[in-house]
Chains A and B, each alone.
Chain A
Amino acid sequence: MTEAEGCRVFVVEDEFLVALQIEDDLIAAGYVVVGPFTTLQGSIDASREQNFEIATLDLNLRGEFVYPLVDELLARGVPVLLLTGYTASDLPERFRALPRLAKPFNGPELIRKVESLLAAK
């Protein structure tokens, strides 16, 4: 996991217990966690100030969908991993093809997805 060393991951998750687990898993794998951020506006503001290589995004932030941030990050060429309990058909058409991890997920799954996205980058 040497390639993960120091790699910064932007984490958006409004459920703190879940965020805690993601954070633990990523740190354990050698990543640096930026966040976690719990609101849409807070995460958009932070995304513009922080440097990171990849983002894991919860879809529903206290009723608000994270799509604006997704669009912005995609436009910046940042790989995005959606972490959600929604199925693909619940998503708007254009987001259905994005990499997605269904909740609940375990640590190794998360790390594998993050790694593959970084590799594809």
Chain B
Amino acid sequence: MSSAEVLPKSLESKIGTLDSPDFRAVLDALPMPVYATDREGIITYFNQAAADFAGREPSLGKDRWCISWELRRTDGSILPHDQCPMAQTLKEGRAIRGYELVVVRPNGTMIPVVPYPTPIFDKSGTLTGAINLLVDISERKGSETILRTKTERLEALGRTAKALSSDLDLEHIVQTVTDSATKLSGAKYGAFFYRVTDEAGEHFQLYTLSGAPRAAFDRLGLPRNTALFSATFRGDGVVRSDDICKHPRYGLSEPHLGMPPDHLPIVSCLAVPVVSRSGDVLGGLFLGHDEPGVFSKESEDIVEAIAAHAAIAIDNAHLLLASQREAESHRRAEQDSRYLAAIIESSDDAIVSKDLNSIITSWNNGAERLFGYTADEVIGKPITILIPPGHENEEPHILERIRNGARVDHYETKRRRKDGSLVDISLTVSPVRDATGRVIGASKIARNITERKQAEETMAKRLREQASLYQLTEKLHRAKGIEEVYDAALDAIRAALNCSRASILLFDQSDRMRFVAWRGLSDHYRRAVEGHSPWTPEAQDPDPIFVEDVTRAELSDELRATIASEGIAALGFIPLITEGRLVGKFMAYYDKPHVFVETEISLALTIARQLGFSIQRIRAERARQLAEEQLRRNEANERARAAELQAIMEAVPTPIWLTRTSDCRVIDGNKSAYDLLHLPPDSNLSFSAPPDEQPSHFRIFSGGRMLSPDEMPVQRAARGEEVENFEEEIRFDDGTSRHLLGNATPLRNPLGEQTGAVAAFVDITERKQAEEALLESERRLKMALDAGRMGAWEWNLQTGRVIWSPGLEKLHRVKPGAFEGTFAAFKRDIHPADLAAVERAIEEALETREDYHVAYRIRLADGTIRWMEAFGRFSPADSGTGERLAGICMDITERKEAEAQRDLLVAELSHRVKNTLATVNSIARQSFSTNPDAHDAQRSFDARIRALAQTHTRLAESRWSGVSLQTILSDELAPYRNENVDNISLDGPPTTLPPKHALTLGMAAHELATNAAKHGALSEKAGRVTVDWDVDPTEKRLRIRWSETGGPSVSAPTRNGFGRLLLERVLASDLGGDVRLEFASQGLTCTINVPYPGGSE
């Protein structure tokens, strides 16, 4: 607020003196408290608003600094009046601003106020006083403080203000009078009382006191117009008593009928009235003493004289005061016009005057600030320029009231500013009268209440928000379904966040954000943004996101376009959390950019918490209902299924056993079971039952052994075992029996406890018998096949499928069942050399439909070759199967091998025989061609053939495994041995000769022996032949040394006969040996050195 400014001339000219009715009207019309003081701070003026405001009638000329009963600082502490801003203004001679105080009324109510004390200077610039404007901010203050109201109680109601002393001379006069009267009369106490007349009657007001503390009168009450003092009050005369209690009129008046208790100890008493010149009783002088008989007639006269002087003095003093007041009132009138101007100009409120034609006549700075027009622009213009459309009829009504002299108080309306904007104002209009009291215009005070309105709106909004939250809480609490929760939440979101549209989205099972509830969103928009989420379900405590202006937010162009096309300008994402997990979000949408304030964010989070909690509650509830429903359905299904199963069980042709206890004391069966066992329905089928309940006409066997009750399948299953593919035989007493195959399984209740067992069996008696018959024939066939190393096969010509019996697979060294079953697989094993022959045989059989017979080799996986011989026969197509070629296959490898061995032997024999004949042929030719003597040649040939035959015989004896060297030599030398002279000596380790060595060495020994007998040592009696030999195992050579002694002297032969040829060439050639013949004179020596494959035996 600006300081006091010079009043506009137009206004100043209208303000006359204090007594001017215009001035009073304007001042009184002010809706704000205004008061003025003089230089000292004494209150010299206040308007009605000030008195109303203070809750008391300020005491003009007495109250100082402030009109209030009490002042406090905003913190509640008491602010002494002499320290108030007004006192400060007067001390410092400047306007004080910026304080906020609390005015306390006598009734205890408190009003927050902003004072605007402004100093007043006269034309010479001297401070003459100050004016103070109190602006009641309780409306604003109240709005601001409602939420944080602190109720402060009044401290004490009965505290009285201290009387302010006057600096009038009168007081000095009266004090002097009292003091002197007391002293002069010899009184111990003296007092001067004014006469006062009010509702309580006529009484004296203590004015001055002498000889006693004022406190002594506090409890005394004031002298009243009693019977005793009526003379004093009326001014009729003096009351004098030596002992007041003995006065004839003492004790006649109520209530005390004498002196009140604790009264000053008055015995002697003197009371003298003070009467003015005009005869008015001004008061009285009361003198007293605690001893009797103090006041004499003389005393009485003195006091009367003093009273007379006093009366004159008081009258004079009154006259002085009156004249002073007269002068003061003129000065004040002048000052007050300045006060008013200052008030008007210093006011924040617009103060406007207009005439009865609504033409503006004055316009203050406040008005300029409020409405935007300057005074020059609007003075002379109709007030209606301020009135916006829709409010046109207000002005005639206001004028009507003004013409009738009535006021318009605090009328709240809207006015239009110069710039066209509207402003909320509170309007107070008072009539302005001229000196004759005629209404000549109106003074309007307009206060900008936009701020207050805003505060109120904020307050209302806050209340609305709070209310929406309470409603949400209540609705959520009562919500029965999720839809109600969503509805309540959407209502609350829109009310609390002041948004036009809202939605709720939750993650679906594939963690995609989906709309579950919404208000005011198009299908298109929802489809376009569904799945968009700033958070994944894993987000931990995500913060809400507020987009205050979509056009400025960081969004993809596409998303921005989608949002814009939906008319959304701002939006908020608020996460929904249940049990610490993000489950979704709710959205608030705004048509215009929106700034999210603290309270909205806080409310949003509160709603999110409540919504999250409710969703969780409803979901849990729904899950529980579903579970219950499921349970009910399950129970019903179970019952239906049980009935169904019962029916099925009875109907199936399969025997079924059922027990409902794990001890199997009772086993029921279905119809098939009873039929099978030849028992009436409802018989107990259990062998675990007591003896008299058990079935007795059959026994149960399995694996050829009778079963004890515990080994029976139902009993085993009842103990928890799954019995599968159990085969049993029921042997009846009449010798018949049935074979059963089946399963038994334990029954458990939902808790997994064992509650019995059920078994179902198939009667396989017929099958069993057929199987056994088949098995028997198969067994016989298998025996036959196995015995002959045979396998069976079948080739279905229609399907191409080849079946091998296990025996055939075994012959092919294929694991049982591993044969692939195709013709190609069959051919794969056939030896390539024989494949063509096999194929040819098959083709022939197919062409001729005659029996198939072929022998072939197969090559097994390990490379072994086996001979097979196959026989097959066609079986014509019968029902279901095509034409087949079936037969057997034999492994004939051993036979083939034996045949081959025989062929080999025959060939070998042939070879040897023919070789031998060739050799004999050669020997013959050599024997005859080298010996001219035919007879001799004949004999030699015979001997050679015999020697050869002898070695053959030896070889045959050993089955051609070999002959010992000793034997060969003994055989050849035997004809010449003479036991008497021991002419032959053989010495060497046992040495076995292989057939070739034996034959060759045998022939060599024959030639040497024959030669020795004919020409050498054995031709004479003294001759000796020594043969010794040894084997060198490392060199693998056999060395034989033949030496003759004691024979005729020897010379080298003249011709090479057969013997030498044989020794020197055949031995060398056939055995790879080395033969040396030495024809020494004492006898022949022959050394044979041949490779020798074996070691000594």
Q: Which residues of A contact B (CB under 8 A)?
A: 14-21, 24, 36, 38, 59-60, 62, 84-87, 90, 102-105
Q: What residues of chain A lie closer than 8 Å to B914, measured between beta carbons?
A: 84-85, 102-104
Question: Which of B911, B913, B923 contacts A17, CB < 8 Å?
Answer: B923
B837 → chain A, closest Cβ, in Å? Answer: 14
**Contact present for A18 and B915 (CB under 8 Å):** yes
Q: What residues of chain A lie closer than 8 Å to B996, measured between beta carbons?
A: 62
Question: Which of B911, B922, B1069 contacts A86, CB < 8 Å?
Answer: B911
The CA-CA distance from A104 to B1069 in the complex, in Å, is 20
A69 → chain B, closest Cβ, in Å? Answer: 18
**Contact present for A85 and B1070 (CB under 8 Å):** no
B1091 → chain A, closest Cβ, in Å? Answer: 12
B896 → chain A, closest Cβ, in Å? Answer: 16
A-B residue pair count with CB separations less than 8 angstroms: 67
Question: Which of B911, B926, B1061 contacts A84, CB < 8 Å?
Answer: B911
* Residue B903 interfacial (CB < 8 Å): yes
* Residue B919 interfacial (CB < 8 Å): yes
Known: A85-B913, A86-B910. A15 touches B903 (CB 8 A): no
Q: What residues of chain B lie closer than 8 Å to A103, measured between beta carbons?
A: 914-915, 917-918
The CA-CA distance from A103 to B571 in the complex, in Å, is 122
* Residue B781 interfacial (CB < 8 Å): no
Return the chain B residue nearest A25 by Cβ: B925
**Contact present for A18 and B918 (CB under 8 Å):** yes
* Residue B907 interfacial (CB < 8 Å): yes
Return the chain B residue nearest A105 by Cβ: B918
Question: Which of B913, B918, B926, B1065 contacts A15, CB < 8 Å?
Answer: B918
**Contact present for B907 and A86 (CB under 8 Å):** yes
Q: What residues of chain A lie closer than 8 Å to B912, measured between beta carbons?
A: 85
- Produce 1/0 per residue, B1051-1092, CB < 8 A to A: 000000000011001100110000000000000000000000
**Contact present for B1070 and A18 (CB under 8 Å):** no
A109 → chain B, closest Cβ, in Å? Answer: 12
**Contact present for A21 and B925 (CB under 8 Å):** yes
Interface residues of B in 974-997 (CB under 8 A from A): 996
**Contact present for B903 and A18 (CB under 8 Å):** no
**Contact present for B918 and A104 (CB under 8 Å):** yes
Return the chain A residue nearest B910 by Cβ: A85
* Residue B921 interfacial (CB < 8 Å): yes
The CA-CA distance from A89 to B402 in the complex, in Å, is 161
**Contact present for B910 and A87 (CB under 8 Å):** yes
Q: What residues of chain B lie closer than 8 Å to A84, measured between beta carbons?
A: 911, 914
Interface residues of B in 909-945 (CB under 8 A from A): 910-915, 917-923, 925-926
The CA-CA distance from A10 to B1062 in the complex, in Å, is 22
- Chain B: interface residue count, which band? 20 to 34
B221 → chain A, closest Cβ, in Å? Answer: 171
Assuming A21-B921, A21-B925, A24-B925, what are 4 further A-B pairs, CB within 8 angstroms? Answer: A16-B1066, A17-B1066, A20-B1061, A103-B918
A72 → chain B, closest Cβ, in Å? Answer: 23
Q: Which residues of B contact A (CB under 8 A)?
A: 903, 906-907, 910-915, 917-923, 925-926, 996, 1061-1062, 1065-1066, 1069-1070
B914 → chain A, closest Cβ, in Å? Answer: 3
**Contact present for B919 and A17 (CB under 8 Å):** yes
**Contact present for A16 and B1070 (CB under 8 Å):** yes
**Contact present for B1065 and A16 (CB under 8 Å):** yes
Known: A17-B926, A17-B1066, A19-B1069. A85 touches B915 (CB 8 A): yes
The CA-CA distance from A111 to B910 in the complex, in Å, is 23
The CA-CA distance from A62 to B910 in the complex, in Å, is 15
Return the chain B residue nearest A20 by Cβ: B922
Centre residue among A15, A36, A84 by max chain B CB count within 10 A: A15
The CA-CA distance from A16 to B919 in the complex, in Å, is 8
The CA-CA distance from A5 to B674 in the complex, in Å, is 113
28 A-B residue pairs with Cβ-Cβ distance under 8 Å, sorted by A, are A15-B915, A15-B1070, A17-B918, A17-B919, A17-B922, A17-B926, A17-B1066, A18-B915, A18-B919, A18-B921, A20-B1061, A21-B921, A21-B922, A24-B925, A59-B911, A60-B911, A62-B996, A84-B911, A85-B913, A86-B910, A87-B910, A90-B906, A90-B907, A102-B914, A103-B917, A103-B918, A104-B917, A104-B920
Return the chain A residue nearest B906 by Cβ: A90
Q: What residues of chain A lie closer than 8 Å to B911, measured between beta carbons?
A: 59-60, 84-86
The CA-CA distance from A102 to B920 in the complex, in Å, is 15
The 7 nearest A-B residue pairs measured at CB: A85-B914, A17-B922, A90-B907, A85-B911, A103-B914, A104-B918, A16-B1069
Return the chain A residue nearest B1061 by Cβ: A20
**Contact present for B921 and A104 (CB under 8 Å):** yes
Q: What residues of chain A lie closer than 8 Å to B920, measured between beta carbons?
A: 104
The CA-CA distance from A62 to B923 in the complex, in Å, is 20
Q: What residues of chain A lie closer than 8 Å to B1066, measured between beta carbons?
A: 16-17, 20
B66 → chain A, closest Cβ, in Å? Answer: 150
Return the chain A residue nearest B1068 by Cβ: A16
The CA-CA distance from A16 to B923 in the complex, in Å, is 11
B902 → chain A, closest Cβ, in Å? Answer: 12
B882 → chain A, closest Cβ, in Å? Answer: 40
Q: What residues of chain B lie closer than 8 Å to A15, measured between beta carbons?
A: 915, 918-919, 1070
The CA-CA distance from A38 to B1070 in the complex, in Å, is 7
The CA-CA distance from A37 to B149 in the complex, in Å, is 142
